[in-house]
Amino acid sequence: MKITLLHHTPLVVCANAIRTCWQSFDKSDHGGEKDKELIDRVGNKFKHASTLEHLVYTFYIQGISRALLQELARHRMASLSVKSTRYTLKELKHEAPFTASDQERAEKYLVFTGIEIVDTMSIQALENLRQVLQSGISNDKAKYCLPESYKTELTWTINARSLQNFIGLRSDKSALWEIQNLAKALYDHLPEDHRYLFSDFIKA
Ligand SMILES: Cc1cc2nc3c(=O)[nH]c(=O)nc-3n(C[C@H](O)[C@H](O)[C@H](O)COP(=O)(O)OP(=O)(O)OC[C@H]3O[C@@H](n4cnc5c(N)ncnc54)[C@H](O)[C@@H]3O)c2cc1C
């Protein structure tokens, strides 16, 4: 998978939101150590967590499976714009037939597990889909035989409060392995000065 952080809110915006409550704007150090301590104290320690909603992150996430997408979409406090199979399946139509030995070529379309029998069956499903498309069936109908391993990508926007919840739940070893990888990769792609807000939530 590939993660790109497209945009994030500077910490000073959250500090100003907090300072609105006490009108203590003159105490701000414009997103420096004083503001960082304030955000952690109010947002995390005092559990006035709605203040963390002023920090928003937009990621471009590529190369995840539709199995992962299904779990990601359960996080309601986030916004998703996902690559549409209805409009993009034609990319597969002009491919040569896939056989089990075409793992490298198939990797453009599939997330592999490293388990041989699963990955071979995935390639077989990809080949089935390619044949359906070649026979002239529309994307709208052909998509019903997509394997869950089929790769997708999306723009994902989430605020810091919800991202803490996501990272806490999904970096845990009880979560799906691929979403664990995503949670850890998202953490790694956070701006360095924001990471401290999430370090208590990430599981090793
Ligand atoms: C290990 C694991 C296993 C799972 N297994 C399954 C499974 O077998 N089947 C399944 O269906 N799902 C499963 N899930 C998904 C899980 O039930 C949640 O849908 C998902 O983790 C999103 O969490 P969330 O509701 O906290 O996040 P969000 O939807 O982003 O919500 C964020 C927070 O907002 C609040 N909130 C949001 N909506 C409401 C509401 N309607 N009422 C009150 N408060 C609300 C809650 O505090 C919530 O934590 C699993 C999740 C994990 C981590």
Parent domain of 27: 2-65+68-80+152-197
Distance 75 CA to ligand 1 centre (A): 6
Q: What is the pLDDT of residues 58-88, one digit of tens each?
A: 999 999 999 999 999 999 999 999 999 988 9
Do 44 and 74 fall into the same domain?
yes
Q: What is the pLDDT of residues 2-41, one digit of tens each?
A: 999 999 999 999 999 999 999 999 999 999 999 999 999 9
The phi and psi torsions of 83 (rounded to 5 degrees) equal: -55, 125
Distance 74 CA to ligand 1 centre (A): 6
Q: Whose CA is nearest to atom 6 of ligand 1?
A: 71
**Active site (catalytic) residues:** 170
Please tell me the pTM assigned to this model: 0.96
Q: Whose CA is nearest to atom 3 of ligand 1?
A: 175
Strand partners, 126: none
Distance 101 CA to ligand 1 centre (A): 39
**Total number of domains in the chain:** 2
Does 203 map to a domain? no
Do 25 and 113 fall into the same domain?
no
Do 120 and 59 fall into the same domain?
no
Strand partners, 60: 4, 155
- Report the pLDDT value the prediction gives residue 90, as an integer from 0 to 100: 87
Task: Identify the band that residue 152 occupies on the pLDDT scale cut at 50, 70 and 90.
Answer: very high
Strand partners, 8: 57
